[in-house]
Amino acid sequence: MANFILRKAEPKDVSDILRLIKELAKFEEMEEQVILTEKELLEDGFGDHPFYHCFVAEVPKDQQSLEGYTVIGFAMYYFTYDPWIGKLLYLEDFYVMTEFRGIGIGSHILKLLSQTAVKTRCSSMHFIVAENNKQSIEFYKRRGASDLSFEEGWRLFAIEKEDLLKITTK
Amino acid sequence: MNFKIRAAKQDDCKDISRMIMELAVYEKMPEQVKISYKELERDGFSPNPFFECLVAEVPEEHKSEEGYTVVGYALFFYTYSTWKGRSVYMEDLYVMPEFRGKGIGKGLMSKVAQVGKEKQCVRLQLSVLDWNTPSLEFYVAKGAQDLTASEGWHFLRFDGEALDKLANEAPKD
């Protein structure tokens, strides 16, 4: 049984965080969409205006992964705002390396996140999941999550840079 | 009709709160509005704001039937995509029905895009209810892609009891 700790990410973790982001994107079959660099992660998370917060899961050296990693999971979140209920905690990414699953790391990360949400006076924790990711949807629903796309009909939209620039110049 | 798009001030929160309720009524969920202008003042105008807001204002001679000159708003904040970096999320965009069709919605949204661009955001995201055809058409015409349809993304939420229960089971420090 692996020992692990959960702690706040530090600037030195950005290389591991990017590696885990790419692993998760690969699982979501969208690896080529990751264009973020370590430099941006560093500036955006640990600069003057942090755009995100992050926890990492770490195992001792003697339990490192096959390729020698000790940082084996992470959760990235930030605060958003719902004009109906106020502050929210938005969970952007949440991932544990496959060889470290099934020992409670994911559950502990989720509990830590919800504790953070309650401590910071957030009414709710929101996140998105791809509908074909049945395993994750079940994981969250078992713990009481509601699917707002299904129940209320919310659809997520994005306007990418090219079209954004068109909007600003019109 | 002339209109001005400007950053909201603390004093605007009563108008913003009024319009938030109007939008919630349109979205058929008014009973879900739990906060008032006081929370908006605290959360948007303190040293560490949780959102930014733009308002659309018309001159006195064009005020609404009930006498309002603040006739539209856009509420947004910054988010982070682990794939692409800094993003803007437009949480609410609303123009009072009697002031529609004059470019105010477009003006508000352009300003949000501009503010995002200044902060080097690469994307603007928003969500729309699946039955809200006028809004869906408005956004798609500007290049918005429905990621729920094309990539299958669903919004999930933990709140109230479910959130408390999860938090109570958290490991002690």
170 residues of chain A, pLDDT tens digit each: 568 999 999 999 999 999 999 999 898 788 888 999 999 999 999 988 899 999 999 999 999 999 999 999 999 999 999 999 899 999 999 899 999 999 999 989 988 988 898 888 888 888 888 888 888 888 888 878 888 888 777 777 777 767 766 766 65
Residue B65: both structure tokens together = 């039937």
Residue A7 pairs in a beta bridge with A56
A14 Ramachandran zone, left/alpha/beta (phi>0; psi -120 to 50):
alpha
* CB proximity under 8 Å: B 21-60 to A: 24, 29, 32-35, 39-40, 43-44, 50-51
B153 to A110: CB separation less than 8 angstroms, yes or no = no
A130 to B171: CB separation less than 8 angstroms, yes or no = no
CB nearest to B143's CB, from A40, A117, A166:
A166
Q: Count A/B contacts: CB-CB distance under 8 Å.
A: 257
The whole-angstrom separation of Cα A67 and Cα A72 is 11
Q: Using only the alpha carbons of chain A, give its radius of gyration.
A: 17
HEC-encoded secondary structure of A86-125:
EEEEEEEEEEECHHHCCCCHHHHHHHHHHHHHHHCCCCEE
CA B6 from chain center: how many Å?
A: 15
For the entire predicted model, the pTM comes to: 0.81
B100 Ramachandran zone, left/alpha/beta (phi>0; psi -120 to 50):
beta
